[in-house]
Amino acid sequence: MKKSREQVLQDAREAVRYAKTLCGDVEFSAEDASRTNLDYLCEVLEAVVDAGAGVVNIPDTVGYAIPAEFGERIQYIRAHVKNIHKAILSVHCHNDLGLAVANSVIAIQNGARQVECTINGIGERAGNASLEEVVMALHTRKDFFGIETAINTQEIYPTSRLLTNLTGLMVQANKAIVGRNAFAHEAGIHQDGMIKEKSTYEIMLPETVGIKESKLVMGKHSGRHALKLKYQELGFDLGAAEIEKAYVLFKKVADKKKEVYDDDLIVIVRDGLRIFPEAYKLKYIQSSGGNQIIATAAVVLEKDGQSFRDSALGDGPIDAALKAIDRITGTPGRLMDYNVHSVTRGKDAVGEVFMKIDFGKVSFIGKAASTDIVDASARAYVNAINKMIHYQMALQEHKSAVDSAEA
């Protein structure tokens, strides 16, 4: 700024006085406060409070502070700024060293009563203090902090998802509170503890932040108890001998892939059969779309040697194709996740489509590849429907076998 400290102090005082003539609530933010001479910082803060600032903000603008020293800085300000009681003490921490939340929390312990933070921790460079982490730290450990916020914690996850959809900035899977794996458990000992008592491995309920429920990830570290519970959720009440046999087959599958899905488990029930019989086959698809016309799709499916055809309108050619398939099969599913990636290079690249389809109580992964994304999407959807039909058949056969054994 090419100014002396005295000039900057006078500028700050005059700016706050002017702002105070325009509105009643004025906040003064001392940029780079974590590296500012402490006595000069206190002098400036005292001056702006006298000038009418109702909030004084202490930013760690470059994410330089270490929690212990940041806490001491807040404590020093409270002790040496004579009129600090007339203003709310605020902090604004950046995450360049991954310490934004820690610095915010220790500032609260030392008297700060406003935290400037962001959903998902978005912000300049490495981001700002994460709102959800600060809020849930205070909420979960209120026995320690004795401080509450007015935040409705059940809106945290929906708000996080909304921000992701608006900005396109994805949340890492292992992000605290709102990450995909925040309430997911794969280790066998963890899953066993979760089944017996959730608080063994969860310090907060997922419902508290707006997530429906915890998730047991079925993988190579999962144990027999988790496998049995998962089968019960899928509608299969397996006995001890059946679980033991299923577990051996499950481990073989788990050794080959990171996560074992519901459809894999249903295949295991059918004596280790790895290929789903195709109830429906996609024989033909034609679609049209554009920004000036309503998208349409015509589909022909084959089942047991017979052809079935239908068409539908949609928000796009893929949506129209899926709706036409629903009309034929009568097994509508809800698209939960959709992912496309190229498996070859060039303009004629083959695109592989992965879909997660929810059919109510169960969900299945459908996948297919084609140089035409609409074709691949339709085939992936049919793949998921075939798995659903296979699941229903397996469930019915299992119930019939149990009824016969009881008779």
Give the span between the Cα atoms of 117 and 127, in whole angstroms.
Answer: 9
Q: Which residues of the chain have pLDDT under 70?
A: 181-198, 200-201, 211-217, 233-235, 256-259, 261-264, 266-277, 342-350, 401-402, 405-407
Lookup: tokens for 61? 């603008």
Domain range annotation of the chain: 5-167, 184-269, 281-395
- Position 266 scores a pLDDT of 66
Q: What is the pLDDT of residues 329-344, one digit of tens each?
A: 998 899 988 988 765 4
> Domain 5-167 in CATH: superfamily?
Aldolase class I (3.20.20.70)
- For residues 340 and 353, is the Cβ–Cβ distance under 8 A? yes
Whole-prediction pTM value? 0.58
- Position 47 scores a pLDDT of 97
Lookup: tokens for 223? 């144990």
Give the span between the Cα atoms of 288 and 321, in whole angstroms.
Answer: 10
- Surface-to-core class of residue 339, CB atoms within 10 Å of its CB (0-12 exposed, 13-18 middle, 19+ buried): exposed
- Surface-to-core class of residue 208, CB atoms within 10 Å of its CB (0-12 exposed, 13-18 middle, 19+ buried): middle
Residue 20 main-chain phi, psi, to 5 deg? -65, -25
- For residues 48 and 83, is the Cβ–Cβ distance under 8 A? no
- Position 277 scores a pLDDT of 61
**What region does 322 belong to: left with phi over 0, alpha with psi -120 to 50, or beta?**
alpha
Dump the DSSP string for 132-197: HHHHHHHHHTHHHH-------GGGHHHHHHHHHHHH--PPPTT-TTTSTTTTEE-SHHHHHHHHH-
Cα 141 → chain centroid: 22
Contacts of 386 (CB under 8 A, 6+ apart): 276, 277, 278, 279, 280
| CATH of 281-395 among 2.30.30.40, 3.40.50.10240, 3.30.160.270, 3.40.50.2300 | 3.30.160.270
